[in-house]
Amino acid sequence: MKLRLRSVLLTFILFSFIACTKEMSEEGNNGGGPGAGDFYATIGGNLWNADSLQLVLVSSNGVSINGLSKTGDQISILLPAFNTGTYTLGAQSSSYALYANLLTPSANVYVSNAGSAGGTVTISSIDTVNRVVSGSFQFTLTNPADNSTETVAKGVFDYLPYTAGVVGVIPPPGALKDTLEVTVDGNKFFASDVEISDSAGQMLIAGFSGTQDVGLFFPSDITAGTYNLDFNAGLYIGVYNPDPSLTLLSQSGGTITIISNNTTTRRISGTFNFMATPVGSGPTANLTQGYFAANY
């Protein structure tokens, strides 16, 4: 359950970032991401289409299939293996899905691993030559905050390009330990698990501790120096989730300082601080004295 929750949070952080940068994606390829295929479903009986961004990441931990519409509706599917077949979703399954609208002031997150939620996802074909994947899905999701449900039906993904993302890298023996720590409103946050994704020119470093997580986004080729953390600008972003139902963003005034980014040893370190605030109204958090060091 804890591993599934961490992956859900990681995907939710990722799409908080994608929601900000989707306009740049649309300018370059008319929406849908580079070389996008078809990705659509009905949500509550209404047609949903991933016409803003499509992202399929494959790692040793499995595959995440993610789509975002221009209206901010996100569907993410996470499977433990990248193989053809049908995967069952439910409270005890290692496969799961989530749905949320990232543009609403207080995003409600519907997940497949809570209450009576469940469904199926089928990967029908994987073309390893052209690196595209196709399949279908349907599920009923539950919002743990109020036990409301959302039905996603008639889901299809056809010829979606996939890329080999590196998530949850385990350093080789003797390597330095991955670390992320920060003070949140005067309380120390020490990540018990640090996960790294370096894909499509963007790097994510996320630290998890219980139900909390902290994430940092920045370009993969970042060099030593200090940069403003500003969600609205879209390049350098800090995210703090005090619990799975609340996402706070660095919308002004924060910085990240890269101490070193050694592309030979593939290790990066730095410091950060930012005021984490919701998209609309709600609680805030002050993150100070942040430090991270990780292999990627």
pLDDT, tens digit, 9 for 90 and up, residues 138-158: 999 998 878 899 999 999 999
pLDDT of 36 reads: 59
Same domain, residue pair 203 and 104: no
pLDDT digits (tens, 9 = 90+) for 18-72: 444 333 333 333 444 434 578 999 999 999 998 877 888 887 778 889 888 888 8
**In the predicted model, what is the mean pLDDT of residues 90-118?**
81
Residue 85 shares a structural domain with residue 145: yes
Considering the domain architecture, whether residues 54 and 125 belong to the same structural domain is answered as yes
Amino acid at 96: Y
pLDDT: which is higher, 258 or 104: 258
Task: Give yes or no for residue 231 having a pLDDT over 90.
Answer: no
| Residue 256 pLDDT level (bands cut at 50, 70, 90) | very high
pLDDT value of residue 29: 39
Is pLDDT above 50 for 167?
Answer: no
Report the chain's mean pLDDT, rounded to a whole number: 80
Mean pLDDT of the region 176-189: 86
Beta-carbon contacts of 102 under 8 Å, excluding residues fewer than 6 positions away, are 15, 16, 19, 68, 72, 74
Let me know whether 214 and 258 are in one domain.
yes
Do 98 and 231 belong to one domain?
no
Does residue 279 lie within any of the structural domains?
Answer: yes
Tell whether 280 and 153 lie within a shared domain. Answer: no
The model's confidence at residue 209, banded by pLDDT at 50, 70 and 90, is confident
80 and 45 share one domain: yes
Residue 174 lies in a domain: no
pLDDT of residue 57: 81
Residue with the two structure tokens 């972003």:
237
**For residue 8, is it within any domain?**
yes
Confidence of residue 275 (pLDDT cuts 50, 70, 90): very high
| pLDDT recorded at residue 202 | 82
Give the least confident one: 9-18, 165-174, 194-203. Answer: 165-174
Check: CB of residue 48 under 8 Å from CB of residue 56: no
Residue 84's pLDDT band (cuts 50, 70, 90): very high
Residue 151 lies inside a defined structural domain of this protein: yes
Last residue of a domain, one of 120, 137, 164: 164
> CA-to-CA distance for 4 and 7, rounded, in angstroms?
5
Q: Does residue 172 sit within a domain? A: no
Say if 231 falls within a structural domain: yes
Q: What is the pLDDT, as a whole number, of residue 28?
A: 37
- Cα–Cα distances (Å) from 11 to 115, 197, 267, 296, in that order, read 20, 11, 23, 18
**141, 164, 187 — which closes off a domain?**
164
Residue 105: pLDDT band (50, 70, 90) is low
- Domain assignment of residue 137, yes or no: yes
CB neighbourhood size of 149 (10 A): 14
Domain assignment present for 192: yes
Q: Are residues 33 and 147 in the same domain?
A: yes
The reply to whether 159 and 211 lie within a common domain is: no
Apex 198 CA angle, 37 and 257, nearest 5: 135
How high is the pLDDT of residue 22?
A: 36
End-of-domain residue from the set 164, 191, 222: 164
> How many domains are contained in the chain?
2
Summarize the confidence of residues 121-146 as an average pLDDT: 91
Write out the residue range of the structural domain in which residue 215 sits.
Answer: 179-295
Mean pLDDT across the stretch 253-275? 90
pTM of the model: 0.53
Q: Tell me: do 39 and 186 sit in the same domain.
A: no
One domain for residues 72 and 126 = yes
**pLDDT band for position 135 (50/70/90)?**
very high
Q: Which residues, other chains included, contact 149 with Cβ-Cβ below 8 Å and sequence gap of 6+?
A: 110, 115, 117, 140, 141, 142, 143
The reply to whether 160 and 224 lie within a common domain is no
